[in-house]
Amino acid sequence: MVPVREKFMHHETPSATGSADVDGIVLLVRLFLLLGSALLAGFGLWRPLVGSMSGGARRALYVGSWAVAVLALVSIPLVDAQVLVAGAHAVLALAIPLVSRWPSLARWLSAALLVLVVVETALGRSGVEFAADTVYVVSAACWFGVTIVTWLVPADDGHRATLRPVPIALTLGMLLLAAGVIQLLLSGLAFDRRLFATVAGWAVLTVVLAPGLALAVIAVHARHTADSTSLVFRRAVPAVLIGFLAWTTFAAMPPPAPLPVAGVPVLANAELDERSVPVLISPHRPGRNLVHLPTGSGTSVSVEDAEGGRVEVTRRPGAQGWWAEVDLPAGRSSLVLHTDSTDATVEVDTGQAAGLPTAAGVDGPECAMAALGGVLDDGALELDECPADRLAQTDVVALRQLVDFLAARDVTAIRLDTDDSARGAAAAARVRAAAARHGLRLTDRVEPDAALVVVSGWESAFEVLREASAAQREEPAYTHGVYLAPWLLHGPIVKQVVGAGVPLSFDPREPMAVQYTVEVASAFASSPSPAGFQRWLAARQQYVRDDVRIFSTAQVNVMPMNPGEPHAPGMPMSGGGAGLWISGGTVVPVTAPLEP
């Protein structure tokens, strides 16, 4: 009835510190509603053991039922609860005291109310978690009910003589403890420091400790009290009450952020200027690391490393967003993000392995966007190399077939742009060898009849394409086209020219690629990249490879599809929303599969 867990989570990434961002008012409404409902349902379950009720007890029952009903109705505007379910909750709460003179009917209505409490507490869970929720909530409600009944019923009442307090208390206490231990193990917090460092950790720990305390009270009572009076329930009920509140609190909270793992890039959220801002730290190894923030995070952010040094975020050519290079020590430490008014801390644990030199510097942004693909949607793919460290075999094939394609179109000259990275050098060698095989001339100048082939990294390609665009506006240049290496299919780069050809062994319009672009845009408001797509697939143990085709990029606001071809899920055909590989542009095939 009360979708509190969804309201709290709302597709938010847990905070970097691992503490849950929970709305206090919503949490209080949830706690009082579920606690009041459990008390009311618990009493109704044990109502047959109560004979006549005093006027004070009856008034207390009515006040409690009205409070539960009001809270149920308040939850409708507060957390967008379903009207019918909230209404049913309120009706059941009001009906229990009205039918209390008919114990059997009161018991059935209480059981229905308890079912609602279980469902609301276990919202979004299934399987073992749902079973543990059911056991904990029902056991706590029964404890509350016995406590209320033994308080209302005189000691000499014949109904009360049927109770066996200590065995019942032991059974309920052990059920609570078992359910609590199961929840602790399922939470993933039992054996790491988040158990004591996060609100969720303390909540689930209390879920276990509270029943343990109640069992200790039972043991002391049984040892030092000759009779088996029901005082045992009253003496232990504070512990059960605390455990129930902790349970409902934990069930409503989003899970804490996972612990950083050495070598796995960190994707966390930081609260900056009352906004949740995603932060990417790559490669998350000792030494030089790159910190990336999305474009909308603002210009006044600085990053403080473990040594206290501050670095202002800056733009990087060919990449979106804001970037800062920082040095991280081996092992555990933290980064602090500063704005004019707020600070936020992100925990890191770089381990002891060697760093990745190309993860920073001119090839750092491409490596970071590749790293992002491996950690999207709870991925945890270790980053052991950067795209610029080597020329992938798929790119070897694509570049060779690109030169074959140009030769078949009677291109006579190629201007080749490369850089000094391992990938750039290998790519240039492959292009030169293929050009020599076809007798194509290589030139270092801007020529009207030449084709421009760019195999450098992002930063160099960004500058070269900007210069090429300027040259084409002034005079005829590169009339045989501008062609980019596959790894340069990235929004800020291709948008420097009106159009470019890219040899690709995957289709950016196919469903898997579209899903990746949507996740990148949702998590980081960033443009996708081929290396990021490959790591996103690897994190899911999937693989996509087609025959190489030349795709054309163009700055238009539609993405043509084949006649009768259905749109891929999540892919808008116009505008600049999520699902487009190039925001405000398009990528479409302009050739059939190239000859191998």
| Cα dihedral across residues 238, 240, 243, 247: positive or negative | negative
User: What does the DSSP 8-state code read for residue 156?
Assistant: T
β-bridge partners, 312 = 302
Q: Which residue, among 510, 478, 505, 470, has the nearest Cα to 489 in the 3D structure? A: 505
In this structure, are residues 325 and 282 in contact, taking their beta carbons and an 8 Å threshold? Answer: no
Who has greater pLDDT, 465 or 85? 465
- Please determine, for residue 12, whether its predicted confidence score (pLDDT) is greater than 70: no
| Confidence band, pLDDT 50/70/90 cuts, at residue 538 | very high
- Least confident range from 62-66, 144-148, 565-569: namely 565-569
Q: What's the pLDDT at 154?
A: 52
Does residue 115 surpass a pLDDT of 50? yes
Alpha-carbon Rg of the chain, whole angstroms? 32
DSSP for 311-358?
EE-B--TT--SEEEEEEE-SSEEEEEEE-SS-EEEEEEE--SS---GG
Q: Long-range contacts: 171-175, Cβ < 8 Å, 24+?
A: 172/139, 172/142, 172/143, 173/211, 173/214, 173/215, 173/218, 173/236, 173/240, 174/211, 174/215, 175/135, 175/136, 175/139
pLDDT in tens, 18-42: 333 456 787 888 888 888 888 888 8
pLDDT tens digits for 301-352?
Answer: 899 877 778 899 999 999 999 999 999 999 988 889 998 888 988 989 998 8
pLDDT higher than threshold 80 for residue 223: no
Is-cis flag, bond preceding 256, omega within 30? no
Q: Please tell me the predicted confidence (pLDDT) of residue 404.
A: 95
- Tell me the backbone φ, ψ of residue 587, rounded to 5 degrees: -135, 115
Pairing of strands 332-338, 322-328: unpaired
Does 46 score more than 80 pLDDT?
no
Confidence bin at 236 (pLDDT 50/70/90):
confident
Tokens standing for 259? 């612990």
Average pLDDT of span 62-74: 85
| CA distance readout (Å), 114 to 61, 68, 93, 100 | 16, 13, 10, 16
Over residues 103-118, mean pLDDT? 85
Position 10 pLDDT exceeds 60: no
pLDDT at position 359, please? 92
How many angstroms separate the CA atoms of 254 and 133, rounded?
16
Q: Which helix or strand (DSSP H or E) is residue 505 part of?
A: none
Is 463 a residue whose pLDDT tops 50? yes
Residue 350 and residue 286 in contact, taking contact as beta carbons nearer than 8 Å: yes
Six token digits for residue 413: 């000259």
8 A C-beta contact, residue 138 and residue 114: yes
304: which 2 tokens?
Answer: 């403080």
**What is the rounded CA–CA span in Å between residue 350 and residue 243?**
37
Q: What is the DSSP letter of 378?
A: G
* Tokens (6 digits) for 222: 């049984």
Q: What share of the chain is helix, strand, coil (3-state, %, to 5)?
A: 50, 15, 35
17 has pLDDT over 60: no
The segment with the largest mean pLDDT, out of 64-78, 98-112, 434-448, is 434-448
pLDDT surpassing 50 at residue 570? no
Give me the helix-helix angle, 103-121 and 127-152, nearest 10°: 140
- Give me the pLDDT at residue 7, please: 39
pTM: 0.74
Q: Is the pLDDT of residue 219 over 90?
A: no
482 falls in which pLDDT band (50, 70, 90)? very high
- Rounded to whole angstroms, the Cα distance separating 394 from 407 reads 20
Span 238-273, pLDDT tens digits: 999 999 999 888 887 877 777 888 889 999 988 888
Residues 101/125, Cβ–Cβ less than 8 Å: no
Q: How many other C-beta atoms can be found within 10 angstroms of the C-beta atom of residue 303?
A: 24
pLDDT at 5 > cutoff 90: no
Tokens 């109502």 belong to residue:
47
Give the dihedral sign, CA 181/185/187/191.
positive
Which has the minimum average pLDDT: 21-30, 39-48, 351-360, 430-439?
21-30
Q: Tell me how crowded residue 153 is: count the other CB atoms within 10 A of its CB.
A: 21
Tokens read off for 486: 């596959």
What is the structure's pLDDT at 519?
93
Matching residue, tokens 């209320």 = 148
CA-CA distance, 420 to 416, in Å (whole number)? Answer: 13
Beta-bridge mates of residue 501: 483, 552
CATH 2.60.40 residue spans of the chain: 266-369
Question: Mean pLDDT, to the nearest integer, of 530-535?
Answer: 96
* Collapsed DSSP state (helix, strand, coil) of residue 576: coil
Neighbours of 20 (CB within 10 A): 23
Range 222-236 average pLDDT:
67
Task: DSSP for 186-254, please give it.
Answer: HHT-TTSTHHHHSHHHHHHHHHHHHHHHHHHHHHHHHHH-SS--THHHHHHHHHHHHHHHHHHHHHHSP
pLDDT greater than 50 at residue 60? yes
Residue 402: per-residue pLDDT = 96
Tokens of 388: 């610029």
* β-pairing verdict for 450-454 and 413-417: parallel
Residue type, 522: S
Pairing of the two strands 287-293 and 322-328: antiparallel
Reduced to 3 states (helix: H, G, I; strand: E, B; else coil), residue 292 is: strand
- If one compares 228 and 221, the residue with the highest pLDDT of the two is 221
Instruction: Quickly state the pLDDT bin for 53 (edges 50, 70, 90).
Output: low
Query: Is 6's pLDDT higher than 60?
Result: no
Position 161 pLDDT exceeds 60: no
Six-digit token string for 228: 């088996």
Task: Give just the sign of the alpha carbon dihedral 292, 298, 302, 305.
Answer: negative
Provide CATH 3.40.50 ranges for the chain.
393-589
- The β-bridge relationship of strands 549-554 and 586-589 is antiparallel
Q: Which amino acid is at 51?
A: G
Q: What is the DSSP letter of 549?
A: E
**Identity of the highest mean pLDDT range in 120-129, 275-284, 419-428, 471-480:** 419-428
CATH domain 266-369 topology:
Immunoglobulin-like (2.60.40)
More confident residue, 49 or 230: 49
Percent of the chain residues topping a pLDDT of 90 = 40
Question: 353 burial class (0-12, 13-18, 19+ CB within 10 angstroms)?
Answer: middle
What are the residues whose beta carbons fall under 8 Å from the beta carbon of 361, sequence distance 6 or more? 288
Q: Report phi then psi at 558, rounded to 5.
A: -135, 155
- Report whether pLDDT(54) > 70: no
Per-residue burial over 45-78, b if 16 or more Cβ lie within 10 Å, else e, is bbbebbeebeeebeeebeebbeebbebbbbbbeb
Q: Per mean pLDDT, which range of 110-124, 234-248, 271-285, 426-440 is the poorest? A: 110-124
127 compared with 165, residue with greater pLDDT: 127
Q: How far apart are CA 523 and CA 254, in angstroms?
A: 17
CB 494 within 8 A of CB 550: no
Q: What is the pLDDT of residue 226?
A: 52
The percent of residues above 70 in pLDDT, for the chain, comes to 86
Is the pLDDT at 408 greater than 50? The verdict is yes
AA identity, residue 456: S
- Whether 167 shows a pLDDT value over 60: the answer reads yes
Q: Which of 229-238, 289-298, 563-572 has the lowest mean pLDDT?
A: 563-572
Residue 9: the pLDDT is 32
Across the range 570-584, mean pLDDT stands at 60
Fold of 393-589: Rossmann fold (3.40.50)
Q: Is the pLDDT of residue 227 over 60?
A: no
